[in-house]
Chain A
Amino acid sequence: MTTVPTTTSHGPTGAAAADLRSRPGTPVRLEGLTRRYGPVVALDGLDLEIAGGELLALLGPSGCGKTTALRAIAGFDRPDSGRVLLDDRDITGVPASKRDMGMVFQAYSLFPNLTVAENVAFGLRVRRRARSERAGRAAELLELVGLADRGKRYPHQLSGGQQQRVALARALAVAPQVLLLDEPLSALDAQVRVQLREEIRRIQLELGITTVFVTHDQAEALSVADRVGVMRAGRLEQVASPDELYERPATAFVAEFVGTMNRVPAILTGGAVELLGTRRPVTGATPAGGPVVALVRPESLVVAADPAGRGRVVTRTFSGASTRVLVALPDGVEVRIDVASADSQLLTPGAPVGVTPADRPVLVAPAEPA
């Protein structure tokens, strides 16, 4: 995975940045974007740099401003202040119809009165391209999204997944400089979602087009993006490659939003924490000493059957190669732990177990007020 430097405050500079930049594709930069809806601050001075040809996912809970940011790039939403730059050109005041960006929406957006091929060719018709060129381009793009034989159908004759593929083909038909995806998969069922996100990534890499992918689904963001920007309350918490985001979350919010995270009470003293009877070094921002909450991934805890153990297995959930065990610790704390399924035979509900943290630095957050 590669990492690309962003604004000074977000993400480390990686040596691999250069190869992303060298891809064809137009860079996009957001500078201090602010947008208020009455008392609600949707964007709070957002700075973000998207390299040419990069797929950047904006991830966050609903209301965090990720869709507002995308709509500001598309030109559907005018920021109160700040600038949107496309290839270092200020396009903040350019109307949406002149921005040369392709967008795929969350809701089905195909024109119901046009056939699939006419939908794909719509942008070219607006641009007054010749009929033969339109037909050729539509066929080419339908081929790209695997719907070559559906050109004469109407949108209502397609499944949801097919409609979103056509929407993608339509957005790409005008050869836009930037592709904007606004939760394009959230209306689809799980299997189609996974399949289509892989296809979006394949096409994006094939075309080398700069892409912003807004989603609230962390699995989606982590699996397709070059980098993921985690947003909260109109600001970016962290922009980083998926593995860095997972392994080294910059804040407790990111840590808990990305992946599964256990919260285990611990005591912080002298740069290390007392956690489940062991002492582990601390990583990331450190609160003042005293009671804290340690944030531990399910795979960073070790569980073993132990008649003298103080934990009790509550449930065991098999999911192929790994099994997730829910263990109740004393003081009413429950933790989720992933173990290899082959090693989980003895971990039946009710079994006494011992839980220890893996030997690696631990991220801590201030203890919650009781």
Chain B
Amino acid sequence: MTALAEGVAGAGSVEPPAPVRPVRRRGGWRVAVLVVLGLYFAIPLAASTWFTVRDRGAGGFTAEHYAGIPGAEGFAAAFGRSLALGALTVGLALLLMVPTIVLVELRLPRLRTTVELLTLMPLVVPPIALVVGVRSVLAWAPEHFYGTPVAEAMFALQEPALPWILVLVYVVLALPFVYRALDAGVRGADLRTLTEAARNLGASWPRVLVSVVLPVLRTSVLNASFLAFALVLGEYTVAAILGFETFPTWIVRISGSQPQLSVAVSVLSLVVTWGLLLLISALDRRRRIEETS
């Protein structure tokens, strides 16, 4: 996830490092590295795919496990919940980080390192530590604040249909990726001059954010959203330990009774995620080509 995240975050910058192009040289080890790397990713994928399309009864191939996904028990609820959690996480993370990053860039550049370190914390603190802490608070608080709105709020956060507590935890987990993606965009654009130009022309601060900053950071906002969304769609530990059913925990639950279906879902979600990733970098590349033409 981290390597992927860094790759996508880099795509948001306006001046990315020179693209690595295949150079025709007789460096055999380059090919070797590529082959090893390719196999490392391809073998598990191919094996998973093979497992899902092989018809164990009649022999040959079948698409039955894929066709059965939409109607599978619990799929719609779990998947829908994960999509909602993803959307909420993206919204909240952006609402929190876009103004923060703009503020740091324009007004408090000395705080940049501090903010960067803070947003890295979720990578250093293992999710398991985070979630155990969250669980302790969730267990302790309602009792301690019994009969007060705090306790009510704690219960509301844990509503199984849409557990907001997961959104809050996911926002924290997504911070490193969201920050990096947005920061790349901010560094690539001369935000200070653009905002000053807009202020000079009479624009209020909210107007500057909406009409100038967001369009300039469009690609990085897209990248940040994608990363946060992908993280939510794949997060297992926190959801499982707090006892909520999300898309990943559902996959694990049904893997016992319907192993081929669960793997089919995994493969499909991987393909969809990958497709989205390619789409974003294609959009970004097209924009860059337009800009340099």
| 8 A Cβ contacts from B197-221 to A | 197-204, 207, 211-212, 215-216, 218
Judge if B143 is at the interface, Cβ distance under 8 Å.
Answer: no
B202 interface neighbour in A105, A107, A109, A127, Cβ under 8 Å: A127
| 8 A Cβ contacts from A52-78 to B | 74-76
| 8 A Cβ contacts from B132-164 to A | none
Whether the pair A126, B207 counts as a contact (CB closer than 8 A) is yes
Whether the pair B215, A97 counts as a contact (CB closer than 8 A) is no
Given contacts A107-B190, A112-B216, A113-B216, contact A126 B196 (CB under 8 A): no
Judge if A103 is at the interface, Cβ distance under 8 Å.
Answer: yes
Whether the pair B199, A105 counts as a contact (CB closer than 8 A) is no
Whether the pair B203, A105 counts as a contact (CB closer than 8 A) is no
Judge if A367 is at the interface, Cβ distance under 8 Å.
Answer: no
Judge if A96 is at the interface, Cβ distance under 8 Å.
Answer: yes
Q: Smallest CB-CB separation from B201: which chain A residue? A: A123
Whether the pair A96, B218 counts as a contact (CB closer than 8 A) is no
Given contacts A103-B200, A127-B202, A174-B202, contact A109 B194 (CB under 8 A): yes
A96 interface neighbour in B193, B199, B207, B290, Cβ under 8 Å: B199
Q: How far is the CA of A100 from the CA of B202 in the complex (A)?
A: 7
Q: Interface range on chain A: under 10, 10 to 19, 20 to 34, or 35 or more?
A: 20 to 34
Whether the pair B203, A97 counts as a contact (CB closer than 8 A) is yes
Q: How far is the CA of A309 from the CA of B290 in the complex (A)?
A: 65
Q: How far is the CA of A99 from the CA of B203 in the complex (A)?
A: 11
Question: B190, B202, B204: which has the most chain A beta carbons within 10 Å?
Answer: B202
Q: How far is the CA of A335 from the CA of B27 in the complex (A)?
A: 60
Number of CB contacts from chain A to chain B under 8 A = 73
Q: How far is the CA of A350 from the CA of B43 in the complex (A)?
A: 80
Q: How far is the CA of A101 from the CA of B207 in the complex (A)?
A: 18
Q: How far is the CA of A174 from the CA of B200 in the complex (A)?
A: 10
Q: Smallest CB-CB separation from B189: which chain A residue? A: A112
| 8 A Cβ contacts from B277-293 to A | 290-293
Whether the pair B202, A126 counts as a contact (CB closer than 8 A) is yes
Chain B contact residue count (CB 8 A cutoff)? 23
Whether the pair A171, B216 counts as a contact (CB closer than 8 A) is no
Q: How far is the CA of A103 from the CA of B203 in the complex (A)?
A: 14
Whether the pair B197, A103 counts as a contact (CB closer than 8 A) is yes
Contacts of B293 in A (CB 8 A): 157
Judge if A246 is at the interface, Cβ distance under 8 Å.
Answer: no
Q: How far is the CA of A107 from the CA of B197 in the complex (A)?
A: 10
Given contacts A126-B207, A156-B291, contact A111 B200 (CB under 8 A): no
Contacts of A98 in B (CB 8 A): 202
Whether the pair A102, B200 counts as a contact (CB closer than 8 A) is yes
Contacts of A122 in B (CB 8 A): 198, 201, 203
Whether the pair A105, B201 counts as a contact (CB closer than 8 A) is no
Whether the pair A111, B203 counts as a contact (CB closer than 8 A) is no
Whether the pair B198, A107 counts as a contact (CB closer than 8 A) is no
Q: Smallest CB-CB separation from B200: which chain A residue? A: A103
Judge if A336 is at the interface, Cβ distance under 8 Å.
Answer: no
Q: How far is the CA of A122 from the CA of B216 in the complex (A)?
A: 15
Whether the pair A111, B215 counts as a contact (CB closer than 8 A) is yes
Contacts of B207 in A (CB 8 A): 126
| 8 A Cβ contacts from B65-98 to A | none
Q: How far is the CA of A110 from the CA of B189 in the complex (A)?
A: 12
A109 interface neighbour in B193, B203, B215, B218, Cβ under 8 Å: B193
Q: How far is the CA of A126 from the CA of B210 in the complex (A)?
A: 12
Judge if A232 is at the interface, Cβ distance under 8 Å.
Answer: no
Whether the pair A74, B202 counts as a contact (CB closer than 8 A) is no
Whether the pair A105, B193 counts as a contact (CB closer than 8 A) is yes
Given contacts A111-B212, A113-B215, A126-B207, contact A97 B196 (CB under 8 A): no
Judge if A170 is at the interface, Cβ distance under 8 Å.
Answer: yes
Q: How far is the CA of A108 from the CA of B216 in the complex (A)?
A: 14
Contacts of B199 in A (CB 8 A): 75-76, 95-97
Q: How far is the CA of A113 from the CA of B291 in the complex (A)?
A: 10
Q: How far is the CA of A123 from the CA of B202 in the complex (A)?
A: 6
Q: How far is the CA of A112 from the CA of B215 in the complex (A)?
A: 8
Q: Smallest CB-CB separation from A102: which chain B residue? A: B200
Q: How far is the CA of A171 from the CA of B202 in the complex (A)?
A: 11
Q: Smallest CB-CB separation from B208: which chain A residue? A: A97
Question: B196, B201, B216: which has the most chain A beta carbons within 10 Å?
Answer: B201
Q: How far is the CA of A101 from the CA of B200 in the complex (A)?
A: 7
Whether the pair B193, A107 counts as a contact (CB closer than 8 A) is yes
Q: How far is the CA of A197 from the CA of B189 in the complex (A)?
A: 27
Contacts of A101 in B (CB 8 A): 200
Q: Smallest CB-CB separation from B192: which chain A residue? A: A107
Q: How far is the CA of A74 from the CA of B216 in the complex (A)?
A: 24
Q: How far is the CB of A192 from chain B (nearest CB, A)?
A: 20
Q: How far is the CA of A100 from the CA of B194 in the complex (A)?
A: 17
Whether the pair A174, B196 counts as a contact (CB closer than 8 A) is no
Q: How far is the CA of A174 from the CA of B218 in the complex (A)?
A: 28
| 8 A Cβ contacts from B240-293 to A | 290-293
Per-residue 0/1 for A102-143: is the Cβ within 8 Å of any B Cβ (1 yes, 0 no)? 110101111111000000001100110000000000000000
Q: How far is the CB of B196 from chain A (nearest CB, A)?
A: 6
Whether the pair B218, A170 counts as a contact (CB closer than 8 A) is no
**Can you list 20 A-B contacts with CB-CB less than 8 angstroms, sorted by A residue number?**
A75-B199, A76-B196, A96-B200, A97-B203, A97-B204, A105-B193, A107-B193, A108-B193, A109-B196, A111-B198, A111-B215, A112-B189, A113-B215, A122-B203, A123-B201, A126-B203, A156-B292, A157-B293, A167-B197, A170-B201
Q: Which 10 A-B pairs have the closest CB atoms?
A: A123-B201, A113-B215, A109-B197, A103-B200, A96-B199, A156-B291, A126-B202, A107-B193, A109-B193, A97-B199
Chain A positions within 8 Å of B, measured between CB atoms, are 74-76, 95-103, 105, 107-113, 122-123, 126-127, 156-157, 167, 170-171, 174
9 more A-B residue pairs beyond the given contacts A111-B194, A112-B189, A171-B201, with a C-beta to C-beta distance below 8 A? A74-B200, A97-B204, A103-B200, A107-B193, A110-B197, A111-B211, A122-B203, A156-B290, A174-B202
Chain B positions within 8 Å of A, measured between CB atoms, are 189-190, 193-194, 196-204, 207, 211-212, 215-216, 218, 290-293
